[in-house]
Amino acid sequence: MKLPSFDYACPATIAEAVALLAAHGGEAKLIAGGQSLVPMLAFRLTVPSLLVDLRKLSELRQIKITDAGVVLGAMVRWRDILEDRLLRQAHPLLTAAVEHIAHYQIRNRGTVGGSLAHADPAAELPGIAVTCDADIVAHGSAGPRAIAAADFFRGALMTTLRPDEIVTEIRFPAWPKQRHFGFREFARRRGDFALAAAAVAFDEIEKKFRDVRIGAIGVGDRPLRLTAAERALEGRVISEAAVTGCAAAASAAVDPADDIHASGGYRKTLIGVMVERALRDAVGRPIV
Ligand SMILES: Cc1cc2nc3c(=O)[nH]c(=O)nc-3n(C[C@H](O)[C@H](O)[C@H](O)COP(=O)(O)OP(=O)(O)OC[C@H]3O[C@@H](n4cnc5c(N)ncnc54)[C@H](O)[C@@H]3O)c2cc1C
C-alpha cells in the first residue's frame, strides 16, 4: 500500500527537531529507523502532516558506559548494542534480551528511541527498562526531563511523552558485577514478537535471593514488574520450592487478554514457565 503524503524535514539539532514538533501541534511524527512507523503509515494508522527525520542527530547514536551505569542514545540500533563487547559485560541482561529482537534486517535499522516511544507491550527493551529501573530522558519545548520507565509506559502503544518531546536517551543504573540474571522468551518463530518473556535478576548473598527483579513482557498492556513474584523470593534460601513458588506467583499475578496470537490463559501459564526457566539459568547450577 502506498504511503499517505506528508512533508519531510531532517533537522541538524535536537532543538530544531523539538521546534518542528512544537510548531505542528501533534500533526508531526518523528521517524527513526521507520520499522514500526512505515507500516503504520501504510495502514493509515497514523497520517501525520510532517515527518521529522532524526538521522542527522549523531549525538543520539552514542553508547556510554561509566561507573554510574549505561546510557544508550535514542538512535542506537539493536545491531550497535549486539556488536558492543563492553556493553555485553556492562549490562549482560540488556544484551541477552536484545538478542531476541526481530530479524537481521530489522536489527540493522530499529532503534532504542523508536522502541521506547512505540511502546509495544511485547517488545524487549521496554521490559528491560522497567525491570532494571531505567530512566528515559525526553527533550521538549519545556527542556529535558527524566521519566522513570515504570511511569513512562501507559498502555499498549501509549506513553507519557508529550507531542513536542523527543526521547534522547535511556539511562540504566550500574549493573553489579556479581548479579545473577536470566532472560527467557517464547515466540512462535525466532525473531517474532514474544508471546511471553521473563527477565530476572538477583544478588546471591549467603545462599539467599536478594534485590530480586522479575519482569514480564507480552502478558499485559505494558511491560510489568511482578512484585508479588519478587516478594516470593526475596530473602529466601535458593531452593527448588522457592523457584517454583515464584513461578506460580508470577503466573497468578498477570491477567493477559486473548488475542489473535494466543489465549490469555495460555500466556498466563507461559509466563510462569518463562520465569522458572530464567531463574534456573540465573542460579546457574542444579537447585535442590
Ligand atoms: C517484522 C518486525 C518484527 C519485529 N520484532 C520485534 C521484536 O521481536 N522485538 C522488539 O522489541 N521489536 C520488534 N520489532 C520492532 C523493531 O525492533 C523496532 O524497535 C521498532 O519497530 C521501532 O522502530 P524504529 O526504531 O525504526 O522507529 P520508527 O518506526 O521510526 O518509529 C516508531 C515510533 O516511535 C516514534 N519515535 C521514533 N524515535 C523517537 C524518538 N527518539 N523520540 C520519540 N519518538 C520517537 C515514531 O514517531 C513512531 O511513532 C519488529 C518490527 C518488525 C517490523
Q: What is the pLDDT of residue 2?
A: 86
- Tell me the backbone φ, ψ of residue 187, rounded to 5 degrees: -135, 155
Output the nine-digit C-alpha cell for 168.
534522547
Output the nine-digit C-alpha cell for 231.
516478594
Specify the residue with its C-alpha closest to ligand 1, atom 53.
35
Long-range (24+ apart) CB contacts under 8 A made by 199-204 are 199/93, 199/97, 199/127, 199/128, 199/131, 199/278, 200/275, 200/278, 200/279, 200/282, 201/93, 201/131, 201/132, 201/282, 202/233, 202/282, 203/176, 203/178, 203/179, 204/178, 204/180, 204/238
Any ligand 1 atom below 6 A from CB of 110: yes
- pTM, to two decimals: 0.97
Q: How many angstroms separate the alpha carbon of residue 106 from the centre of ligand 1? A: 9
State the angle between helix axes of 240-253 and 264-283 in degrees (0 to 180), rounded to the nearest 10: 150
CB contact burial 108-129 (16+ within 10 A = b; e otherwise): ebbbbbbbbbbbbbbbbbbbbb
Any ligand 1 atom below 6 A from CB of 80: no
Any ligand 1 atom below 6 A from CB of 41: no
Burial of 55 (0-12, 13-18, 19+ CB in 10 A): middle
Pocket test for ligand 1, best of 10, 36, 100 (most atoms within 8 A of CB): 36
Per-residue confidence of the chain (288 residues) as pLDDT tens digits?
A: 789 999 999 999 999 999 999 999 899 999 999 999 999 999 999 999 999 999 999 999 999 999 999 999 999 999 999 999 999 999 999 999 999 999 999 999 999 999 999 999 999 999 999 999 999 999 999 999 999 999 999 999 999 999 999 999 999 999 998 999 999 999 999 889 999 999 999 999 999 999 999 999 999 999 999 999 999 999 999 999 999 999 999 999 999 999 999 999 999 999 999 999 999 999 998 888
Specify the residue with its C-alpha closest to ligand 1, atom 6.
102
